[in-house]
Every structure is written in C-alpha cells, then in structure tokens.
C-alpha cells in the first residue's frame, strides 16, 4: 500500500515548559477527510499547530509525501504543500477581503482559480473591498478557508471551522468541505461536534491528553456512539 500523504508518529510538543502532545500517531491518505475529535484541551489544535511548525518545541516524526518536516520552519512546511486555517480564523484587520484572499503565496500548481473560489463563496466577491474583520463570523470563516484553496496546498488543516456559527452556516461549511474533497484536496479537520464531523469525514481519531486513544471509520461511527459519548463527555 502506498505511503499515506501525511504520517505523524510519536509527535511530542511543548509550549514553554508545558508538555502538550505525548506521542500523537495519525495517518491521512490522499483524498481523505480525517477528523480529530476530542474535548477542549485534549491537544487537537496543538496537533495541527505542531504539524505546521507553530509550537515552541516538538519531536517525533511528521512525514508529508515521504518528506520529514519535524525540524522544518513553518514557511518551508507551507511550501511543502500543507496549509492551515486556524481556529481564530486569522483574518487580517488591516487588509481588505481581496488582500486577505490573495495573501498566501502559491506554493505549487493545482490550487483553485479565483473565479472558482468566488463561485463557491459568492459573498466574498460582493464584499471584495470590505476590511476583512468587518465580515460576519460565517463570512470570515469562508474567507479563511477560501484563502488556502488557491495556494496549491494538497493537505488543508481546518481547525474547528464550525465553532460559534449558526446552523445554516455550518451546513454551508459542510457542503464546502465535501466540495473541496471532491476536487481532490485532502483535509485534516479538528472538530468537537462529531455529528457535524460524520457528515463530511471518512475516518475519525479521538484525542485525549495529547495522544490518540481511538480510531473509528465513518461507517463504524453509528455503532461506536456510546464510546464516543464517553470520550467526548456529551
């Protein structure tokens, strides 16, 4: 079997003196949507940030397309083809919508064209000249996702894209994730809401105390509800 697009082994990460990840092991194959489920503080966001090179110190292995990235700087990781849509969305207040959208440089061929992005997110075209932070929460989330679609990155890491959004916007984000999967992108998604996750994902990892404690395919999810309720405390 071909090597997965992303293979994370024994990933440990620290913020200052705090040891947050205690040996994460995950694999994401090309074209898959994989979620990291878990309670607040379990280490899901830190996993994405550690893969992206945004934590103070890390060890273990992060292999992307066979290339070891655990010691690389975040700009090199981005140029290798990984993009992050952060939890706080990271929309820049001093840039308008178009500037925000065009900010990340193209890292390789294969990104979506601007017209296709506007077709997917028509609001962004209408509000092209508005300052990024004047958009609604849902529009900001769309902008944060749209921004990494045109770079050509193969693996998109989305950190809680539905957090704090109205149900109708959550549905729209779900449609967007299915659309980008259909276009061949690979997605690693952090979610607390597994009801949303099951509508978009192929597989799920459950994270607790900075390590993976369970892995469930979407097909097995219905039978694993009790376990998930225990893990997630819902």
Partner 1 sequence: MLEELLFQIELGLPQIVLGLVNGAFYALLSLGLAVIFGMLNVINFAHGAQFMMGAFVAWMLLNWVGIGYWPALVLSPLIVGAFGVLIEKTMISRLYKLDHLYGLLLTFGLALIIEGIFRNQFGSSGLPYAPPEALGGPPVDLGFMFLPKYRLWVVVAALGMSLATWLVIEKTRLGAYLRAATENAALVQAFGVNVPRMVTLTYAAGVGLAAFAGVLAAPIYSVNPQMGSSLIIVVFAVVVIGGMGSILGSVVTGFGLGLVEGLTKVFYPEASSTVIFVIMAIVLLARPAGLFGRA
- Give the interface with partner 1 as residue ranges (CB under 8 A): 52-54, 73-75, 77-79, 83-84, 86, 90, 92-95, 99, 102-105, 107, 148, 151
∠ CA 43-204-13 to the nearest 5 degrees?
A: 25
Q: How far is the CB of 93 from partner 1 (least distance, A)?
A: 6
Torsion angles phi and psi, residue 30, rounded to 5: -55, 135
To which residue do tokens 């110190």 refer?
A: 57
Q: Give the nearer residue to partner 1 in terms of CB position, either 75 or 179.
A: 75
Half-sphere exposure of 170 (CA within 13 A, CB side): 14
In the complex with partner 1, the residue whose CB is nearer, 54 or 232, is 54
Give the whole-angstrom CA distance, residue 229 versus residue 224. Answer: 9
CB atoms within 10 A of CB 76: 12
Could you tell me the smallest distance in angstroms from the CB atom of residue 29 to partner 1? 23
Q: Is the dihedral of CA 60, 73, 56, 156 positive or negative?
A: negative
Q: In 52-201, which ranges are continuous DSSP H helix?
A: 74-80, 97-102, 114-120, 122-126, 137-149, 167-182, 194-200
CB of residue 104 to partner 1, shortest distance in Å: 4
Least Cβ distance, residue 38 to partner 1 (angstroms): 22
Q: Is 151 or 172 the residue whose CB approaches partner 1 more closely?
A: 151
How many CA atoms are closer than 13 Å to the CA of 232, on its beta-carbon side? Answer: 20
Nearer to partner 1 (CB atom), residue 54 or residue 116:
54
**How near is the Cβ of 222 to partner 1 at its closest, in Å?**
36
- Residue 21 or 201 having the CB closest to partner 1: 21
Q: How far is the CB of 151 from partner 1 (least distance, A)?
A: 7
Q: Tell me whether residue 100 or residue 162 sits nearer to partner 1 (CB atom).
A: 100
Instruction: State how far the Cα of 156 lies from the Cα of 181, in Å rounded to an integer.
Output: 10
SS3 state at 179 = helix
């Amino acid at each position: 079997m071909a090597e997965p697009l992303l293979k994370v082994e024994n990933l440990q990460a620290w913020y200052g003196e705090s040891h947050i990840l205690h040996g994460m092991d995950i694999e994401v194959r090309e074209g898959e949507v994989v979620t990291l489920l878990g309670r607040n503080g379990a280490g899901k966001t830190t996993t994405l940030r550690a893969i992206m090179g945004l934590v103070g110190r890390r060890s273990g292995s992060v292999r992307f397309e066979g290339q070891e990235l655990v010691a690389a700087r975040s700009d090199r990781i981005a140029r290798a083809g990984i993009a992050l849509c952060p939890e706080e969305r990271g929309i820049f207040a001093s840039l308008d919508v178009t500037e925000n959208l065009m900010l990340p440089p193209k890292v390789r061929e294969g990104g979506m064209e601007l017209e296709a992005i506007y077709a997917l997110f028509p609001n962004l075209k209408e509000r092209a000249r508005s300052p990024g932070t004047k958009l609604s929460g849902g529009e900001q989330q769309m902008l944060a996702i749209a921004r990494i679609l045109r770079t050509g990155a193969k693996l998109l890491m989305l950190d809680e894209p539905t957090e704090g959004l109205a149900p109708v916007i959550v549905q729209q984000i779900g449609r967007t994730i299915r659309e980008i999967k259909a276009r061949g992108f690979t997605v690693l998604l952090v979610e607390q809401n597994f009801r949303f996750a099951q509508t978009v994902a192929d597989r799920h990892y459950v994270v607790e105390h900075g390590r993976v404690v369970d892995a469930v395919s979407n097909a097995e999810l219905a039978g694993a509800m009790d376990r998930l309720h225990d893990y997630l405390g819902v």
